[in-house]
A and B are shown apart, each in its own frame.
Chain A
Amino acid sequence: EVKLVESGGRLVQPGRSLRLSCVASGFTFENYAMHWVRQAPGKGLEWVSGVSWNSGNIAYVESVKGRFTISRDNAKNSLYLQMDSLRVDDTAVYYCAKPAQARPGSFDHWGQGTLVTVSS
């Protein structure tokens, strides 16, 4: 059974940093790109960032470029999101998402999400 478990979300002040983690199990993690998707309270879904299986290709949504850094450790079956210079509008539930096989941007498994609240 595929399982994605996020952690690291909490209340943080604007301008501060936070690191999210996602531990994967139930599939061969190193074979898949991985992604972060977020959802602000009461709002829709927003793709945030993705990293290829070997970290050779990385992409971000424009609003987080230069502030967020995605990374992965295949030996630990883990995905990370380093979030710097946090803003109030980064407040959201952050989901880790796995793409379906041979469908790079179609997310067939999601974690339960971790809530990041940016507020003074």
Chain B
Amino acid sequence: DIQMTQSPSSLSASVGDTVTITCRASQSISSNLNWYQQKPGKAPNLLMYGAFILQSGVPSRFSGSDYGTDFTLTINSLQPEDFATYYCQQSYSTPYNFGQGTKLEIK
């Protein structure tokens, strides 16, 4: 099974800041990497697939990068609605494991 290691587990930032979340796959996943945002009590929402392709309707302040088995999610100019928990997930092979999550909190 492919393990996904996400860091940090939590992050404090202010509105207007830029933050980066990292996800590492235990083996090559050929850019089959997704990012989700989840708010309390709600289902996850797909932000990005293919490591850096924005899902329709997702603001352009979200961006992704692919460094082989390391991936990043960057959020520029944080908005109040961005404070949530973010998960990476590999969709290369089953089980489609998720990272542990990063809780982004307001400083």
Residue numbers of A with Cβ under 8 A of B are 35, 37, 44-47, 50, 59-62, 95, 100, 103-108, 110-113
A107 surroundings in chain B (CB, below 8 A) = 34, 36, 44, 46
A103-B91, A107-B46 known; A44-B34 Cβ under 8 A: no
A100-B49, A105-B96, A113-B43 known; A45-B91 Cβ under 8 A: no
B55 surroundings in chain A (CB, below 8 A) = 100, 108
B91 surroundings in chain A (CB, below 8 A) = 103-106
A37 surroundings in chain B (CB, below 8 A) = 44
A107 to B36 CA separation, bound complex (whole angstroms): 9
In the complex, the answer to whether B96 meets A50 with C-beta atoms within 8 Å is yes
Contact residues, B1-40 vs A (CB, 8 A): 1, 32, 34, 36, 38
A105 surroundings in chain B (CB, below 8 A) = 32, 34, 89-92, 94, 96
Residue numbers of B with Cβ under 8 A of A are 1, 32, 34, 36, 38, 43-46, 49-50, 55, 87, 89-92, 94-101
Residue from B38, B49, B97 in contact with A103 in the complex, judged by beta carbons closer than 8 Å: B49
In the complex, the answer to whether A112 meets B43 with C-beta atoms within 8 Å is yes
Residue from B32, B43, B97, B101 in contact with A47 in the complex, judged by beta carbons closer than 8 Å: B97
A52 to B38 CA separation, bound complex (whole angstroms): 26
A45 to B34 CA separation, bound complex (whole angstroms): 13
In the complex, the answer to whether A47 meets B46 with C-beta atoms within 8 Å is no
B38 surroundings in chain A (CB, below 8 A) = 45
Chain B nearest CB from A60 CB (Å) reads 8
Q: What 8 A-B pairs have minimum CB-CB distances, sorted nearest first?
A: A105-B91, A110-B43, A59-B94, A106-B49, A47-B96, A45-B98, A105-B96, A44-B101
